[in-house]
Amino acid sequence: MTVKQLLDEVEKATAIAVENRHRFLVMICSENLEDRIFRLAKRVYRRYSKVKGEDEGEMLIAGRSSFLERAKKFFSGKFVHYKESPSVLGETYSSLLIDFTEGFHPNDLGIIVETIAEGGIIIAISPPVHAWNNLISKWHEELVSEPYSVEDVVPRFYRRFIRRTLQAEGIIVFDADRREVIKRYEFRKVEESREEIKIPEEEREISKKLYKLCATQDQVRVLEIFEHFFDRKRERKAVVITADRGRGKSAVLGIVTPYLIWRMYKVLKRPVRIMVVAPTPYAVQTFFKFLKKGLVRYGIKFKVKESNGITTVVNSKFARVEYVVPRRAMVEKDLADIVIVDEAAGIDVPVLWKISEGVKFMVFSTTIHGYEGTGRGFSIRFLKRLERDETVEIEKIHMTEPIRYGKGDPIEKWLYDVLLLDAQPAELNEEDVRAIREGKLEFEFLDKDELFSNEKLLREFFGIYVLAHYRNRPSDIVILADMPNHLAFRVSVNGKTVCSLHVAVEGRIDDETIKKMAEGYKPRGQVIPDLILKHYWDYDFPKLVGLRVVRIATHPSVMNMGIGSFALQRMVEWAKKEEMDWVGSGFGVSPELMRFWVRNGFSPIHITPQRNEVSGEHTLVVIRPLKPHIQSRIEEINADFTRRLIEYLSDELSDLETETAVGLLRSLMRDANVPKPEFGKVERKRLKKYFHGMSLYEYVSDVIRPLVRYYYSRTDRIDLSDEEERLVVGKCLQLRQWRDLGEGFKVYKALLKALKKIWEWFEEK
């Protein structure tokens, strides 16, 4: 075969892609990255341009530094290093030259490929097809945990990638060394590529100038929903927009915002403040792009504030539209007239609740399948709860039509397949649910070679993560697939996966590395050993071996049926048989999650003082010892943790949910090293006066606080009710304002009663 046959395939593919508003991929494979490969790629691109017969627009060239330097001799366009791939989010290019020569990071692939518009060509420079089976990339070196090395890595992800690529439509694969077309272009049309756009002819609240910015009929429908945004029947209003990637959610939010400003300004008679929340500022650049277009059409002059070329604020005399990180939004949401949350799937559900509390007008937009996160978890965990709130009127819309290309695009299908973005869990029937209730569950270790060659099993396994977790990335798949210390387990019923577990083996660190760790070195993938060494100076713990649960997720259809607890207990049994020393985990803490882990025998040993800027969470680390001598050491660490926690609650952790704080304090395993406070005659008389209702809390708080700190450092506590503990911890340890604790006199009375019980307990010591 010859290059002519390759060019003939490109010609055919271009004509079909243009006709159907699709994209196609040409993978040029070679042992060596030589100029002849770039010249061949240039010939492919010229043939494509000739057939397309129009201005081909700007090309995106993406890859590593050496690839980009060589490509500049043959191509012009926008050159982007892989590490800068988030910078092209929301941008559109007509064609792409991408570097596969040393593999690729899956997150980069998802971002970069999705920038290519209809009729576009993607040219990938690749190693030979057979090389993918043993390809170890540079970023594998960055991921592999000590004491392992890249020699221990097995590239299961790349093996599946090339296997699925050779089976996919819309792709041409050419062996440049043998001058042979390995895979010809295939495409079967299954649906019309575009619905006709029909803008409402009659006068509406929203200007036709904004409707004309819509690129799809789906976007028109979204604007039609906002026509009634302010006509609410209930106290609060929310619009929820869901879609797969590239459906124009962010763009349509930008388009409608000038209308929201105009309508609210008429009522408030002052500048409107709109808070735009998203996991990263990159995620809202498309929003700001279309906001500026809409403001121009409304004739509103504005100023833009940028940071490193990224828009963060658009100001006018009518409104301030500002990007805010989730953590800040939790605090400042009351200052906003409208809160818009874009890519809500990338934000933890408890944080979304904090952001939305009390807000009258709110908009949520989220991706169902995509590399920013998955909206199914948002829909199941957040939206269902919001729907139960009787003060909120909710309007929902789902967008299906792609913006940059037509429906049925084979490259989108290929991308979703190789990155498992569209993985779905098993469908469960009544028989399966009945079997779960009867305890007919199976726990099993999954051989990773089998897992990544069995598509049904793989999609069921990852489909649970897609539904249950708010932050999923394609790179998570690679870590599990390729890293030697990462293992997979599942719980199944009738052969169907109902719980997926991803765990990492940690420990077995040598003395030399431990010494380096003590001096500040951070070993890769050794989360819990590194934490215990640096926070508790236990030099022996890193030598032990344990399991860190990276992820555990239950099928959303059968949650709260004990499956997760069953999985953890069996995991512990497995670890004991393997003569491991401990099992642990780290996660964004919430009262619900904390109760789950503590209930299963895990003890908290560390919490991050600051909330994560993106997710708004504090990370909690828990551990369960598996041997008696380790049990004793973990009890010491837990006691030390509790002693520190008591102090942190009045400072760095003053904003921690009080229910979470109470749960952490209740988990104390042995008495913490806190000296018993001494109170003299004067302090005792002051307390007596307070307990008889003749004084205020404020006049005895200096006595109460050391009393409460000592109380929570002991295991022999008395039975306080949940409400009493909430008040004691919230007021005496977290120093909360009275208004944050509840209704006036009832709160004073309940707190006094609880503190009197603690004082009586203290007096008996």
pLDDT tens column, 57-107? 799 999 999 999 999 999 999 999 999 998 888 788 999 999 999 999 999
Expressed in angstroms, the distance from the first to the final Cα of the chain is 91
Q: Is the pLDDT of residue 182 over 80?
A: yes
Query: Across all residues in the chain, what is the average pLDDT?
Result: 92
b or e along 390-410 (b: 16 or more beta carbons within 10 Å of the residue's beta carbon)?
A: eebbbbebebebbbbbbbbbb
Q: Which residues pair with 341 in a beta bridge?
A: 277, 364
Checking DSSP bridges between strand 486-493 and strand 496-507, what pairing results, if any?
A: antiparallel
DSSP-based three-state secondary structure for 217? helix
Chain segment 580-629, per-residue pLDDT in tens: 999 999 998 888 889 999 999 999 999 999 877 666 678 999 999 999 99
Whole-number pLDDT of residue 136: 94
Average pLDDT value for residue range 174-202: 88
Phi-psi bin for 742: left (phi > 0), alpha (psi -120 to 50), beta? left
As a whole number of angstroms, the distance between CA 709 and CA 226 comes to: 52
Q: Residue 719: is it exposed, middle or buried by C-beta count within 10 angstroms (0-12/13-18/19+)? A: exposed
As a whole number of angstroms, the distance between CA 542 and CA 523 comes to: 11
Quick one: tokens of 589?
């803490």
Q: Which residues pair with 506 in a beta bridge?
A: 546
CB 402 within 8 A of CB 287: no
Angle at 8 between CA 5 and CA 12, to 5 degrees: 140
Average pLDDT value for residue range 175-197: 88
Whole-number pLDDT of residue 614: 62
Of 3.40.50.300, 1.10.10.60, 3.30.360.10, 3.40.50.360, the CATH number of 208-399 is: 3.40.50.300
As a whole number of angstroms, the distance between CA 649 and CA 581 comes to: 31
Whole-number pLDDT of residue 507: 96
Angle at 456 between CA 455 and CA 460, to 5 degrees: 115
- The band of 173, judged by pLDDT with boundaries at 50, 70 and 90, is very high
- The band of 380, judged by pLDDT with boundaries at 50, 70 and 90, is low
Quick one: tokens of 256?
């409608």
CB 601 within 8 A of CB 583: no
DSSP-based three-state secondary structure for 545? strand
Whole-number pLDDT of residue 371: 43
Q: Is the pLDDT of residue 259 over 70?
A: yes
Q: Is the pLDDT of residue 381 over 70?
A: no
In 469-578 the beta strands, taken as DSSP E runs, fall at: 486-493, 496-507, 545-554
Q: Is the pLDDT of residue 154 over 80?
A: yes
Average pLDDT value for residue range 166-170: 97
Whole-number pLDDT of residue 372: 42
As a whole number of angstroms, the distance between CA 727 and CA 750 comes to: 8
Whole-number pLDDT of residue 518: 95
Whole-number pLDDT of residue 156: 97
Q: Is the pLDDT of residue 43 over 60?
A: yes
- Return phi, psi of residue 513, to 5°: -70, -40
Q: Which residue has the higher pLDDT, 193 or 460?
A: 460
Whole-number pLDDT of residue 467: 72
147 preceded by cis ω (within 30°)?
Answer: yes
Q: Is the pLDDT of residue 370 over 60?
A: no
Quick one: tokens of 371?
């590399």
- The band of 373, judged by pLDDT with boundaries at 50, 70 and 90, is very low
Whole-number pLDDT of residue 523: 93
DSSP sequence for 606-655: EE-SSPPTTT---EEEEEEE-SHHHHHHHHHHHHHHHHHHHHHTTTTTTT
Q: Is the pLDDT of residue 1 over 60?
A: no
Cα–Cα nearest to 37, from 101, 93, 87: 101
Whole-number pLDDT of residue 91: 86
pTM, full prediction:
0.86
CATH topology of domain 430-666: Aminopeptidase (3.40.630)
As a whole number of angstroms, the distance between CA 625 and CA 629 comes to: 9
CB 309 within 8 A of CB 333: no
The amino acid at 448: K
Quick one: tokens of 410?
């084979």
Residue at token pair 């169907």: 496
As a whole number of angstroms, the distance between CA 605 and CA 623 comes to: 7
CB 639 within 8 A of CB 669: yes
Q: Is the pLDDT of residue 377 over 60?
A: no
Whole-number pLDDT of residue 349: 77
CB 120 within 8 A of CB 23: yes
As a whole number of angstroms, the distance between CA 579 and CA 567 comes to: 18
Is 3-183 in CATH node 3.40.50.11040? yes
Chain segment 498-536, per-residue pLDDT in tens: 999 999 999 999 999 999 999 999 999 999 999 999 999
